[in-house]
Amino acid sequence: MTDISDQTEQARQWFEQLRDSICAEFEAIEREAGSDAAFDYAPWLREEEGNDDPGGGTRGLMKGKVFEKVGVNVSTVRGNFAPEFAATINGATAEDPGFCATGISLVAHMANPHVPAVHMNTRFLVTGKAWFGGGADLNPPIPYAQDTDDFHARLRATCAAHNPTYYERFSKWAEDYFYIPHRGVHRGVGGIFYDHLECPDEAAFARNFAFTKDVGEAFLDVFPRLVRRRMGSEYTDADKRTQLEWRGRYAEFNLVYDRGTLFGLKTGGNIDAILMSLPPEAVWT
């Protein structure tokens, strides 16, 4: 019999390990830039009436010379969806609205407009079903083909090591998902997005967990390389203005369309952690 609690614990431990590795690498980049910026960690506990063990998480936030604002959150929460929201979640029903979710979520907004912003998250969610989801996507205010190609190549290789159909499917999913309909533009230059990699047995769990871990490792490998490539670039006031306008589009997507934002707000998540994805400064024309 599949032990869901053991699977959740395995996933939780990995997400926390990944957080520690990412934060250490980002702090190392700050040191290379002559900054002593470091992550500030704030634990939080979820509250749900009638639930003695709703879980919680830790919000990690750093504001530095290279990373103007970067948040890395991990959480493990459990409880019950509201009936109308349960109907929108894979495996949940109004009659059986219980859930347990563990995951990592990261958004980095960079000081230099030539350095791409980025989003990454991976998660394991249990309702009447159990599945992995997540992905990573690159969001440059000033795109460079070299950066886009390297980012996609690293994710393509990761996907190919697990399933020859994954990259085509998941990159198309990202292209469709990270789109701002009212603007008619994409949020960035894409990446991969996947969801509902279901785990009905131990073999499926092991397979999908291995893929999810490799997505995290791929991000940890490729994104710091892109940061180091661009962080010393000179930029103009016009470049900064371009970045601030682009950040406005990013904020619009996250507040209007992003499923993760909605999930957090609908399940009593930490407001500061949920909205850490918003840029520190933006403009609208």
Structural domain boundaries in the chain: 4-277
What pTM does this model have?
Answer: 0.93
More confident residue, 283 or 49: 283
Residues pairing with 60 in the sheet: 41, 72
**What is the mean predicted confidence (pLDDT) over 100-106?**
95
Mean pLDDT within 247-254: 96
Nearest-CA neighbor of 194 among 138, 263, 129, 133?
A: 133
* 2, pLDDT greater than 60: no
Handedness of CA 203, 209, 215, 220 (dihedral sign): negative
Max Cα distance, the chain (Å):
60
pLDDT digit string, tens, across residues 22-44: 999 999 999 999 999 999 999 98
- For a pLDDT cut of 70, what percent of the chain falls above it? 99
Of the pLDDT bands very low, low, confident and very high (cuts 50, 70, 90), residue 4 is: low
Two tokens, residue 161: 């090591």
Q: Which of 109, 114, 119, 152 is catalytic?
A: 119
Annotated active-site residue 119? The verdict is: yes
* pLDDT digit string, tens, across residues 149-159: 999 999 999 99
Mean pLDDT of 237-248: 97
- DSSP class of residue 284 equals -
Strand, helix or coil for residue 267: coil
Radius of gyration of the chain (CA): 19
**Which is more confidently placed, 114 or 80?**
114
Tell me which of 3.40.605.10, 3.40.1500.10, 1.10.390.10, 3.40.47.10 is the CATH number of domain 4-277: 3.40.1500.10
CA 20 to chain centre: 15
Q: Read off the pLDDT of each residue in 86-98 and give the average, rounded to a whole number.
A: 80
